[in-house]
C-alpha cells in the first residue's frame, strides 16, 4: 500500500512529466519548468529551423502555481532546434523557480527572472556556420537566376541568417561572400526599401504579405552583417573590407551624404562629460535603446555611409564606460510588425583608447555616451573625416554663434540642444524663415525647467530631461517613453516633411499640438511622478500644463484644454464632466475596463489643475519637494498607488488648506475619515475660503436640464450626433451621446444635492473665515549665504541662483534669488579689496571676456589642477595645470569660480566675472 501511495504522490507532484525513448541518430531534449505564483503567465515552445513547433507547454495559461513540469522529445542529430519561453506579464519566473533545458542530460539553457517577457536559446545545432555558408551560396544563385528556390527554401534561409548571424563574421571568405550577396541583390533587384514593393515597408509576417521571401531573407542578412561584421574586432582584422562598404538602403533612411572632400579634415567640439546624480527624486534613466544609464552628447559631426571617421578623446575617458555612438536612431524596432528599415541601424563603440575608428554602412551622427556618475567636466572631442551637420546649441558652455549659417552644413540630420532638451530632425524639414529656431529652442528649455521647478527636480541636470527624435516609425506598438522618445514617424524622403519640435512646445497655440501632448504625456511617465491609485495614465498629462502655463505663461484654460485630446475640456468643462459622471459622490471608477473614469481623460487629473486654478503652482511644488525631503530622510512614499489618506494629508499640508472637499468631488474619498481629520487637526490645516467659493461655482456647472447638457456635450464633442450613436457607450463621445438622451432636470437636481452634501460635510458652518490665500511659495525654501575666501557660497533654495552684489563703503550686500523666485539677503564686511589671491597668486583681468592670466611671480607654490565651475558648483571647464592663460571665450556671460588646487591639497576659489 505504501508503494502505491508513493506513486500517486509523485504523479500529482510532477504534473506533465513525460519521457522520450530515442533511437539512432537522435538525441533527447528535456524541458523542466518550475512555476511560480503566476504560472498562467508562462508558456514555451521548441521549434525547428523552418519554424515548426515540435514541442510546447503552458499555452492557454494551463500551468498551475508552484508546480514542476517536465516534457521531453527526441530530435534528429542533423537538425537545428530552438527553445523559446514567454512570460505575458514580462517579469519572468520568480527565483528560485525557473526553467532548465537538457540535451542528453547536459544542461544547455536555464533562466528565471531574467526571462522577462521573452527569451530564446539555440539548444541544438551541430554545424551552424556550415549551413550559413550553404544559405549564402543558395541565395546568391537564386538572386542571379542560376537556381530557383521555393518559398520554403527562402524562409529557411531567412531563419538561418536570423538565428546564426555571428557566422557571417566567421572568416574573411564568409564576410566577402555576404558582401557579394548584398551587392548582387542591389544590382539585380534594387536595394531594400528602394523598390516599389518595399519603399513603403512590408510586413514581417509572410502570411500577411506573401511573395517577399527574398526581401525578408535580405533583411535578415544585412541585419546580421551590421550586427556582427561591422564591429571593431572585424575592422581590426579586415579594415579593407569595412572601408567603402555602405548599404544602399541608406538613401531612403537615414539618408546619404558624401564624405568630406578632405578626409584628413579635423573638427572639434566641447561636450559635458558629467552625469551626476541630480537633486530631487530621480527620473527613470535606463530608458534608452540599450537599457543602460547614459547621457548622450552630440558632436554635430556625421559619418558618411562607407567612411571611416576617427574620434579622439582625452585619456580620462578611456576604459571608463564611455562609448561613441554612430547613428542617432538607436531603437531596435524588432517589436514592430512591419519592416520600414532594418530593426537596428546604429553602432556603439567602446572608448578603450584615445583614438577610436568608427563606421556604419548606414552612416550616422557621432555622439559620445557618458556613463552615470561620470564627472570629467567639459572636455574636447575631435573628429577626423566627419561631415558637419546643422548643430543648434544653446548650452550653458557653448552657444551656436549663427543659427542661419548652420543650414549651410551638408549633414542630413540637424540636432538642437540645450542643457535640458535635445531633438533631432532631418535637415530638410527646416524651411528657412518658417520658425524662429532659436526662440522655439529656448521655449523647449523653459518648458523643461518649469516642470523641474514644480516637480522639485534639479533645474539643470547633467542629462537632458527630454530627448526626442523623428524616426521612420514609432519605436513601439504604442507611444512610449525613451531616450530618445521616438513617437514622431517621418520618412526621410518626405521633403520638407512634418515640422516636428521646431515649432516649439505647444505648436501654434492656442491650437492643440497632438505630437507635443503625446511626448509630454510619455515624458510624464518617465519622470516617475507619485500618484493616487489609478492615476497612472492621467497625472502624466499635468507636466504639459506645467510647461505651457508655468513655463511659457500660456492661459491655464488653454493649457488644460491642449493637454490631452479631444482638446475641448477646459477647467469648467472638466468639473462638469466629473459631476455628471456615473460615480459622482462616490469613489471614482479606476477599474481596468472601458468604464474607467480616470485614465486618458481630463477628469482623471482635474483636481490637480483645480489646485493650480485656485492657489497657483506652489502647493504642488511644495508637495513634491517635501516628498524629496522625506526621501532624503529615509521615507519613501512610493510612486504608484500611494496611500490615499496619507497623500491627502501631505497635499493639504503643502497647500496649507484642507483639500478633502475638492478630492471628494473628483472621487477620491478618505479611507479612515476620523484618523484623517485628526491628522489635519494636528497639522493645523483649516478649511479654505477660496475652495468653498469654487465649489459654489460648481453649482452653475451642473447642467440644469437636457438642453444644458446637450450644449455642454456639443461643446466638448462637436461630433456628438455624427459619431456618438456608433461609439462605445462607456466613455467619450459615445457615453455623452447616451447621456444626452436620458439627462433631465431630476438628474440635475440629484447631482446638485450630491454637491451640496459634500459642501455640508466639510463646511458645516458655511463659508469659512480666514485662510484665504496662505503664503506658500517659499514655504520649504531656506537660502543661506556665506562668504568664503571672497566667494559667495549659497546653500538651500533651488539652483541656479541670481546673485547680485552691492558694495557701499566696506559693506558688501549680497542678494540671492533662486530659480523659484525665493529671495534672501545678507551683508558682509570687506576687509581687503585686492586682485591678489592667497599664496601669492595673482589673477587678472577680472572681469574678462576672452582670457584670464595667472601670475605666480610672487608664489613658490605649484598648481596641481585648474577648473572653472558655475556659481552653482557645476564643473564647466578643466585646464592643464601648466596653463597660465585661461581661455574663457566659449563661456556665456555670468559669474564663475576659478578653482585652483595647489600641490599639497590647498584650494583657492576666485570669483570671475565673464562679460560679453
SS (H, E, C) 813-847: EEEEECCCCCEEEEEEECCCCCCECHHHCEEECCC
Q: How many CB atoms lie within 10 A of CB 348?
A: 17
CA distance 679 to 688: 17
H or E element: which one contains 867?
Answer: strand 863-870
CA distance 668 to 648: 9
| 642: Cα separation from own chain's centroid | 23
Question: Residue 353, exposed/middle/buried by CB under 10 A (0-12, 13-18, 19+)?
Answer: middle
Longest dimension (CA), the chain: 106
The 10s digit of each residue's pLDDT in 889-902 is 888 877 788 888 88
The residue among 243, 265, 264, 247 whose CA lies nearest residue 256 is: 247
pLDDT of residue 833: 33
Do residues 804 and 823 touch, judged by C-beta distance below 8 A? no
- Per-residue DSSP letter, 429: G
Cell numbers 536612431: residue:
329
CA distance 150 to 211: 11
pLDDT of residue 13: 40
All residue ranges of the chain with pLDDT < 50 are 1-17, 832-838
CA distance 271 to 184: 42
CA distance 829 to 243: 67
H or E element: which one contains 12?
Answer: helix 2-13
The residue among 422, 421, 425 whose CA lies nearest residue 413 is: 425
pLDDT of residue 860: 61
CA distance 251 to 827: 65
**Omega of the bond prior to 847 within 30 degrees of 0, cis?**
yes
Rounded to whole angstroms, what are the CA distances from 503 to 427, 513, 556?
14, 10, 20
CA distance 734 to 751: 21
pLDDT of residue 858: 60
CA distance 27 to 126: 12
CA distance 550 to 543: 10
Domains delineated in the chain? 14-124 (2.60.40), 128-242 (no CATH), 266-518 (2.60.120.1250), 529-705+744-762 (1.10.390), 784-829 (no CATH), 838-914 (2.60.40)
The residue among 821, 915, 893, 905 whose CA lies nearest residue 862 is: 905
Give the pairing of strands 485-489 and 784-788: unpaired
Do residues 142 and 149 touch, judged by C-beta distance below 8 A? yes
Do residues 326 and 347 touch, judged by C-beta distance below 8 A? yes
Do residues 368 and 322 touch, judged by C-beta distance below 8 A? yes
- Per-residue DSSP letter, 496: S
Rounded to whole angstroms, what are the CA distances from 593 to 546, 598, 862?
29, 11, 71
CA distance 185 to 192: 9
* pTM of the shown model: 0.86
The per-residue DSSP string of 597-613 comes to SSTTSGGGTHHHHHHHH
Cell numbers 549651410: residue:
408
pLDDT of residue 840: 67
pLDDT of residue 203: 98
The residue among 564, 561, 488, 555 whose CA lies nearest residue 524 is: 564
Q: Kindly tell me the sign of the dihedral angle through the C-alpha atoms of 141, 143, 148, 151.
A: positive
The 10s digit of each residue's pLDDT in 25-43 is 999 999 999 999 999 999 9
> What are phi and psi for residue 713, nearest 5 degrees?
-65, -40
CA distance 802 to 821: 9
Classified as helix, coil or strand, 785 is: strand
Task: Provide CB contacts within 8 A for 330, sequence distance 6+.
Answer: 288, 289, 290, 346, 348, 484
pLDDT of residue 754: 98
Amino acid at each position: 500500500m505504501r508503494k502505491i501511495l508513493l506513486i500517486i504522490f509523485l504523479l500529482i507532484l510532477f504534473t506533465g512529466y513525460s519521457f522520450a525513448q530515442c533511437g539512432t541518430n537522435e538525441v533527447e531534449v528535456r524541458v523542466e519548468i518550475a512555476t511560480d505564483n503566476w504560472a498562467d503567465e508562462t508558456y514555451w515552445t521548441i521549434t525547428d529551423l523552418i519554424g515548426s513547433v515540435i514541442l510546447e507547454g503552458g499555452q492557454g495559461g494551463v500551468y498551475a502555481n508552484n508546480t514542476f513540469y517536465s516534457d521531453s522529445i527526441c530530435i534528429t542529430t542533423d537538425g537545428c532546434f530552438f527553445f523559446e519561453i514567454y512570460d505575458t506579464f514580462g517579469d519572468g519566473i520568480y527565483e528560485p523557480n525557473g526553467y532548465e533545458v537538457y540535451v542528453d542530460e547536459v544542461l544547455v539553457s536555464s533562466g528565471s527572472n531574467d526571462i522577462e517577457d521573452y527569451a530564446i536559446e539555440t539548444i541544438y545545432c551541430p554545424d551552424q556556420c556550415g549551413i550559413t555558408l550553404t544559405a549564402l551560396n543558395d541565395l546568391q544563385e537564386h538572386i542571379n537566376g542560376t537556381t530557383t528556390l521555393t518559398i520554403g527554401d527562402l524562409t529557411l534561409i531567412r531563419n538561418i541568417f536570423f538565428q546564426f548571424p555571428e557566422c557571417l563574421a566567421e572568416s574573411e571568405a564568409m564576410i566577402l561572400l555576404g558582401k557579394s550577396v548584398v551587392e548582387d541583390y542591389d544590382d539585380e533587384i534594387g536595394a531594400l526599401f528602394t523598390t516599389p514593393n518595399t519603399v513603403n515597408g512590408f510586413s514581417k509576417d509572410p502570411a500577411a504579405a506573401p511573395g517577399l521571401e527574398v526581401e525578408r531573407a535580405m533583411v535578415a542578412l544585412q541585419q546580421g552583417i551590421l550586427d556582427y561584421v561591422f564591429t571593431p574586432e572585424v575592422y581590426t582584422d579586415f579594415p579593407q573590407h569595412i572601408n567603402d562598404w555602405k548599404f544602399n538602403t541608406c538613401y531612403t533612411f537615414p539618408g546619404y551624404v558624401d564624405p568630406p572632400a578632405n578626409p584628413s579634415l579635423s573638427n572639434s567640439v566641447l561636450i559635458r562629460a558629467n552625469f551626476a546624480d541630480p537633486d530631487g527624486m530621480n527620473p527613470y534613466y535606463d530608458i534608452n535603446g540599450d537599457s543602460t544609464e547614459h547621457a548622450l552628447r552630440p558632436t554635430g559631426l556625421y559619418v558618411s555611409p562607407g567612411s571611416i571617421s576617427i574620434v579622439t578623446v582625452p585619456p580620462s575617458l578611456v576604459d571608463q564606460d564611455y562609448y561613441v555612438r554612430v547613428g542617432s536612431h538607436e531603437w531596435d524596432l524588432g517589436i514592430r510588425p512591419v519592416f520600414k528599415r532594418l530593426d537596428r541601424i546604429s553602432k556603439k563603440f567602446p572608448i578603450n583608447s584615445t583614438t577610436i575608428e568608427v563606421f556604419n554602412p548606414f552612416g550616422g551622427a557621432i555622439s559620445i555616451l557618458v556613463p552615470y556618475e561620470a564627472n570629467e567636466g567639459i572636455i574636447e572631442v575631435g573628429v577626423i573625416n566627419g561631415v558637419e551637420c546643422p548643430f543648434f546649441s544653446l548650452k550653458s558652455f557653448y552657444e551656436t554663434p549663427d543659427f542661419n549659417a548652420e543650414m549651410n552644413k551638408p549633414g542630413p540630420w540637424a540636432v538642437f540642444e540645450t542643457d535640458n532638451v535635445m531633438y533631432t530632425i532631418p535637415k530638410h524639414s527646416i524651411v528657412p524663415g518658417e520658425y524662429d529656431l532659436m526662440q522655439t529652442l529656448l521655449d523647449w528649455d523653459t518648458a523643461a525647467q518649469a516642470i523641474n521647478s514644480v516637480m522639485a527636480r534639479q533645474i539643470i541636470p547633467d542629462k537632458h530631461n527630454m530627448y526626442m527624435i523623428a524616426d521612420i516609425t514609432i519605436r513601439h506598438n504604442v507611444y512610449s517613453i525613451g531616450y530618445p522618445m521616438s513617437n514622431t514617424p517621418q520618412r526621410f524622403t518626405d521633403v520638407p516633411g512634418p515640422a516636428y519640435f521646431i515649432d516649439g512646445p505647444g505648436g501654434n497655440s492656442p491650437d492643440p499640438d497632438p505630437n507635443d501632448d503625446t511626448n509630454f504625456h510619455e515624458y510624464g511617465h518617465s519622470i516617475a511622478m507619485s500618484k493616487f491609485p489609478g492615476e497612472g495614465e492621467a497625472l502624466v498629462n499635468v507636466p504639459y500644463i506645467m510647461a505651457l502655463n508655468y513655463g511659457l505663461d500660456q492661459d491655464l484654460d488653454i493649457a488644460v484644454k491642449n493637454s490631452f485630446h479631444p482638446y475641448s475640456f477646459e477647467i469648467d468643462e472638466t468639473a462638469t464632466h466629473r459631476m455628471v459622471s456615473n460615480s459622482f459622490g462616490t469613489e471614482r471608477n479606476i477599474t481596468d475596463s472601458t468604464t474607467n473614469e480616470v485614465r486618458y481623460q481630463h477628469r482623471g487629473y482635474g483636481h490637480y489643475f483645480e489646485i493650480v486654478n485656485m492657489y497657483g503652482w506652489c502647493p504642488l511644488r511644495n508637495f513634491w519637494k517635501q516628498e524629496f525631503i522625506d526621501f532624503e530622510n529615509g521615507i519613501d512614499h512610493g510612486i504608484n498607488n500611494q496611500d490615499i489618506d496619507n497623500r491627502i494629508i501631505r497635499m493639504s499640508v503643502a497647500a496649507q488648506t484642507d483639500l478633502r472637499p475638492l478630492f471628494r468631488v473628483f472621487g477620491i474619498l478618505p479611507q479612515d475619515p476620523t484618523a484623517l481629520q485628526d491628522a489635519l487637526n494636528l497639522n493645523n490645516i483649516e478649511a479654505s475660503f477660496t475652495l468653498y467659493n469654487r465649489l459654489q461655482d460648481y453649482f452653475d456647472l451642473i447642467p440644469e436640464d437636457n438642453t444644458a447638457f446637450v450644449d455642454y456635450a456639443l461643446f466638448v464633442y462637436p461630433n456628438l450626433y455624427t459619431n456618438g450613436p456608433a461609439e462605445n457607450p462607456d466613455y467619450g463621445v459615445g457615453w455623452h451621446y447616451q447621456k444626452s438622451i436620458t439627462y433631465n432636470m431630476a438628474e440635475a437636481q440629484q447631482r446638485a444635492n450630491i454637491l451640496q452634501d459634500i459642501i455640508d460635510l466639510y463646511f458645516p458652518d458655511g463659508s469659512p473665515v480666514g485662510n484665504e490665500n496662505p503664503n506658500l511659495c517659499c514655504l520649504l525654501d531656506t537660502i543661506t549665504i556665506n562668504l568664503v575666501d571672497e566667494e559667495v557660497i549659497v546653500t538651500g533654495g533651488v539652483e541656479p541662483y541670481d546673485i547680485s552684489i552691492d558694495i557701499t563703503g566696506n559693506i558688501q550686500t549680497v542678494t540671492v534669488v533662486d530659480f523659484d523666485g525665493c529671495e534672501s539677503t545678507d551683508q558682509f564686511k570687506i576687509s581687503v579689496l585686492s586682485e591678489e589671491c592667497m599664496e601669492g597668486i595673482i589673477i587678472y583681468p577680472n572681469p574678462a571676456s576672452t582670457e584670464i592670466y595667472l601670475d605666480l611671480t610672487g608664489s613658490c607654490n605649484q598648481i596641481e589642477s585648474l577648473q572653472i565651475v558655475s556659481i552653482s558648483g557645476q564643473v564647466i571647464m578643466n585646464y592643464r595645470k601648466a596653463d597660465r592663460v585661461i581661455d574663457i571665450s566659449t563661456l556665456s556671460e555670468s559669474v564663475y569660480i576659478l578653482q585652483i588646487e595647489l600641490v599639497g591639497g590647498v584650494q583657492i576659489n576666485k570669483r570671475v566675472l565673464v562679460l560679453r
